[in-house]
Amino acid sequence: MKLYCFGQSGNSYKAALTLALADIEWEPIFVDFFNGEARTPEFRKINVMGEVPVLIDGDRTFTQSGVMQYHIARLTGKFDGKTQEEKYEVLRWVLWDNHKMSSQAGATRFIMNFLPEAKRPAEAIAFMQGRVKAALTTLDMALEGRDWLVGDSITLADISCCGYLFYPEPFGFERKDYPNIDAWLDRIAAQPGWKHPYDLMPTKEVVV
């Protein structure tokens, strides 16, 4: 498999981490996102949406990180829940993450770290950080007394929801403020095959 990705992308990390934890052989293909490569006509032939990640598996192309995660789960029988009830619960958390967590955290982190300082709107950042805090509070509460979001082992729910939470750039998340998330991230990092996003995917320094 080939994964078009770049190190700063939390959505790419979800797909890359799923591949790594599933112990699947794959090759990262660097996309120079910050210099506009994903929006070029050449890249849009790979993904008309002009986004990363993109997963190529033989003659099949997958876009959207959640779809890639489910493809990997279907191939390996890992990470998507052991019962039908768990499978629906995993899907619920993946959808929640895409709408409530990753969308807020990703946009906030981008504005705060990858835009020129003069173009970082303070009011928008404050609003977005409020949304991030609400999502983090929900996640921390869900992990109270639990090792994993669904069932008794790591699933796509965990791999999806952690996508932006291992990054060092500030966006309104401090692990010490969320003890259940903090311990959960340690459990994820202890899984065989885990790597930090900047070690798992190729990256290029962003100058703003």
| Range 152-169 average pLDDT | 98
- Whether the pLDDT of residue 208 is over 90: the answer is no
Residue 94: count other Cβ atoms within 10 Å of its Cβ. 25
118 and 67 in a common domain: no
Residue 16 lies in a domain: yes
110 and 19 in a common domain: no
Residue 136 banded pLDDT, cuts 50, 70, 90: very high
**Which tokens is 9 given?**
């992308």
DSSP 33: G
β-bridge pairing 54-57 and 27-30: unpaired
Q: pLDDT, tens digit, for every residue of 82-95? A: 999 999 999 999 99
What CATH number does the domain containing 19 carry? 3.40.30.10
Q: Which amino acid is at 77?
A: G
The chain-wide mean pLDDT, for the chain, equals: 97
| Range 89-112 average pLDDT | 97
Cβ–Cβ < 8 Å for 158, 148: yes
β-bridge pairing 27-30 and 2-5: parallel
- Percent of the chain at pLDDT above 70? 100
Residue 151 lies in a domain: yes
Cβ–Cβ < 8 Å for 65, 94: no
Nearest-10 crossing angle of helices 122-142, 102-114: 140
H/E segment holding residue 131 = helix 122-142
Q: Is the peptide bond before 53 cis (omega within 30 degrees of 0)?
A: yes
Residue 174 lies in a domain: yes
Q: Model's pTM, two decimal places? A: 0.96
**Which tokens is 105 given?**
């955290």
Distance, in Å, from the CA atom of 113 to the CA atom of 122, rounded to the nearest integer, reads 13
Tokens 């991230």 sit on residue: 185
Domain count within the chain: 2
- Whether the pLDDT of residue 27 is over 90: the answer is yes
Cα 152 versus chain centre, distance:
21
Cβ–Cβ < 8 Å for 199, 4: no
Residue 173 banded pLDDT, cuts 50, 70, 90: very high
Residue 179 lies in a domain: yes
98 and 65 in a common domain: no
What CATH number does the domain containing 129 carry? 1.20.1050.10
Q: What are phi and psi of 197, to 5 degrees?
A: -55, -35
106 and 13 in a common domain: no
| Range 37-58 average pLDDT | 97
Tokens 């008309």 sit on residue: 48
SS3 content of the chain, % helix, strand, coil (to 5): 55, 10, 40
Residue 44 sits in which domain range?
A: 2-78+194-200
| Range 37-56 average pLDDT | 97
Q: What is the pLDDT of residue 207?
A: 82
